[in-house]
Structures are given as structure tokens and as C-alpha cells.
Copies of this chain bind each other. A is one copy, B any other.
Amino acid sequence: MAETERTVTACMIVIGNEILSGRTQDANLTWIAGRLTELGIRLTEARVIPDVEATIVETVNAVRTRFDYVFTSGGIGPTHDDITADCIAKAFGVGIGIHPEARRRLEAHYAQQQGEFNEARQRMARIPDGATLIDNPISRAPGFRIGNVFVMAGIPVVMRAMFESIRHELVGGARLLSRTVSAFLPEGKFAAGLGQLQDRHPELDFGSYPFYRGGRAGASIVVRGTNAARLAAAVDEVKALVGALGGEPLDGDPSAQ
């Protein structure tokens, strides 16, 4: 896409055996994708990896040089399988130890809760050298940022709160706008016309996402771009295409899942 502003990219790393075993449906990816889009940042890739040191280290190092921002979720709790902080330190080649401010927050939290600030909980204050803390207004144990990598919790309510607390640190580029036109037309009917629209408007991105609804085949045509006027004009062309093929163009997405 031709743009005046730079495209800012991000990669999300979901860390956790529970996603890969099918036990848990990840809820963070879709959420963060939407929030990043609003900030003018494009989620360009996501990886789901197990709680395995070599894999975490290799993945973090593979993506942190390729994307502007990297977000991780999962593996920063008090149990033995929470190894993300150590792996991030290893990936960056830095040490890791108890962070005084993280320790202070956790100590105050458990004192207030009349819970024991035991060795397992003290592990949550271990932060790689040089990292800055990410606030956790829900359960206090902080995430952290090191370089362009933001390390967050896996529990959705905590991840979301952490993301909101670092949102102001993120610098987005041209915001990608998106408009959707849906129709109960099979893709094969409008594919040629849509391809021509894409050829005519290389600065926009035309996607087609088929669905079945009430036994009928249809598709949502999504047009994306950074220029609102061009986007609106292209949407009119999509609607004209659908109409010319005997379909009824509907604004938005009737296949919402």
C-alpha cells in the first residue's frame, strides 16, 4: 500500500501448553489485534508456542528484530511452569533478579490480603536486568518491557489491563481503516470483478471471507486502507459490483461469529 506514514508492525507470542493442547481457546489474540489496529499498529504475525525454554528464547529472538513491537502473553505466574521471564532474560543476554519495586508491590499486596509472601510469590518479582515494569491493576504481579518486547500475563482480564497501562508507550503509524460489505453471493460469482477492483486500487487491500449462514453461502468483502475518501469510493464500487451480479449489498458483517 502506498502511504505517506510508515507502517508500524507487531508480533504476538502466545506462550502456553494449554492453548496448544486445545484445553483453552486463546482470547488474547483477537482482542489485541483490534486494539493495535485502533492505535495504527498492524499485527503482522502471531505465534503460539509451548512453555519450553529453547522455543521461547528462539522465537523471541527471531521476531524482535523483524517487527516494531513484540507482545507476549503467559508464563509469568508463581508456578514452576512459569518460565517466561527467565527465557526473555536469556533471549536478551541479560541477568535476572528480584526487582525492588516489583517486590514492594507484591509485598504490599499480600500483606493487605493477609496472604503469605512466600518463595513462589517472590518469583513473580524476578525481572530481567534493564526492563521496566508494566502495571498490573488486577493481581499486582507486574509484567515488564525490555527493548521492544512487552511481557504480559495470560489471563485475559489481566492481559487487557496491562495492555491499557502501556498503550501510551506505543507509537502507531498510518491507521488502517476498514469497511465491510456482505452479500449472499458465492465468492466464485464476484471473484473476477473483485480482482479487477484490487488491480485498479493497489493502494487498498480487498479481502473476501466466505461464510455459510442459514444454509446459504455468502461472503464478506473487506476493504482496508489509510485514506478514508478512497476507501469510501471503493466501497461504492464493491456495492455496485454486488448489485450488478444480482446480490443485495449489506453494510457490515452478518456472519459475526
Contacts and interface: CB of A to CB of B under 8 A. Distances in A.
Contacts of A33: 19-22
Copies of this chain in the oligomer? 2
Contacts of A37: 21-22
A157 B194 contact: no
A17 B51 contact: no
A211 B155 contact: yes
Q: How large is the interface on A (under 10, 10 to 19, 20 to 34, 35 or more residues)?
A: 35 or more
Interface stretch (A95-103, A185-193, A229-237): A185-193
B81 A206 contact: yes
A17 to B, nearest CB: 6
Interface of A: 17-27, 29-37, 42-51, 55, 77-81, 110, 115-116, 118-121, 123, 139, 155, 157, 176, 178, 180, 186-189, 191-192, 194-195, 198, 205-212, 217, 222, 224, 253, 257
Contacts of A205: 17
A44 B20 contact: yes
A119 B191 CA distance: 9
Contacts of A81: 198, 206-208
